[in-house]
Homo-oligomer: A and B are copies of this chain.
Amino acid sequence: MYDTTLSETRRRDWDGDATGTLRLAIVGCGNYARSVSIPAIVEGRYAEATVAVSGDPDKRASLADEFGVTAVDYDEYEAGAATDEYDAVYVATPNRLHLPHVRTAASHGKHVICEKPLEATVARAEELVAACEDAGVRLMTAYRMQTDPVMRRLREFVADGGIGDLRRATGDFAFPVLGGGRDPDQWRLDGRLAGGGALYDVGVYPLNTARFLAGDDPVAVSATTRSPDPAFDEVDQYADFRVEFDDWVGGFSAAFSGREHTFLELLGSDGRVAVESAFQPGVARDVTVETAEGRVAVADAGADETVEEFDYFAHAVLSDGDIEPDGADGLVDMRTLKAIQESAASGARVEL
């Protein structure tokens, strides 16, 4: 059964109904947007970056030069500058600034793809989702793993009973946020701007991706967090969290220090799927599937999921198609992250 699935880890299952191109304003042009997201938009088929919003004059000049975009500052964006040059907004600012920028987009009647997690608090995320609903604009939470074809094939395989009944998931994402000479003053270490540390920034990957593969929502959580290094005095440097679902349990970890490492595994009654290099952007993923029929390993599986992500969003907007990682999906994780923080603070299991 799995041979077919494995042969299609680059196939798009949602493509075909769209014509035209969705023009995007990039709101927040930090390193990730600039080095990962904008190049993926340029490479893709259905989206193009036409406007960039930045508070830094030098950055605006270089963005205009490098990508041929109209570059405006945040006051201009809010005032409606260049609204005839974009159809939708990609929000990649610090988490706590998502809400005002999404509100602005909605007020301009622009669709939104917003980075994960949706906001710094549940209440603000709920306001963000409501702003899009009230304005009648589409909202996608930028869960890029959901658009990686290899993850979509694995979801089908699990849904088809490929590993039997799911019993246990394991997921880890360690990202050395201060590695490679990165700035210790970055917003990811600012508790108010980020809302949380490793848990919010990278822990949401195993959480959301396991939920996506299983098609399931959490019922309870338990967690512990720690920040031994002073640089992380406002946010969790390490988070270890257990998430209970109706019929299975996920054991996850997130780290802002240490060797980069990502992994996701689902153990079922009759088999297992494991993905090495599960969450890093744009890397080849190594997939192992074990069933009663044997063990199959596929190296270099999947497509560039960030290219997929923006094409998926643009295609859905252009064709009025489904957006699976919508605001409701993002809110489930926000509520789960909040419960995880509460559990880490109290030591108690927290029900959702």
Chain A residues within 8 Å of B, Cβ to Cβ: 163-164, 167-168, 170, 172, 174, 220, 222, 224, 228, 238, 240, 242, 244, 247, 249, 251-253, 255, 257-259, 261, 267-272, 290, 292, 347-349
By secondary structure, the A interface counts as strand
A-B contact pairs, 21 of them (CB 8 A): A163-B259, A168-B172, A168-B253, A168-B255, A170-B170, A172-B267, A222-B222, A222-B224, A222-B349, A224-B249, A224-B349, A240-B242, A257-B269, A258-B269, A258-B270, A259-B267, A259-B270, A259-B272, A259-B292, A261-B272, A261-B290
Taking the closest CB of chain B, its distance from the CB of A127, in whole angstroms, is 31
Which among B228, B269, B349 is the interface contact of A347 at CB below 8 angstroms?
Answer: B349
Report how far A164 CA is from B260 CA in the complex, Å. 13
Report how far A272 CA is from B255 CA in the complex, Å. 14
Chain B residues near A290 (CB-CB < 8 A): 259, 261
Chain B residues near A259 (CB-CB < 8 A): 163-164, 267-272, 290, 292
Of A163, A257, A268, A349, most buried by chain B (CB within 10 Å of CB) is A349
CB-based contact A258/B164 at 8 Å: yes
CB-based contact A238/B249 at 8 Å: yes
Report how far A247 CA is from B238 CA in the complex, Å. 11
Chain B residues near A164 (CB-CB < 8 A): 258-259
Taking the closest CB of chain B, its distance from the CB of A227, in whole angstroms, is 12
CB-based contact B168/A251 at 8 Å: no
Taking the closest CB of chain B, its distance from the CB of A326, in whole angstroms, is 29
Report how far A168 CA is from B226 CA in the complex, Å. 12
CB-based contact A267/B261 at 8 Å: yes
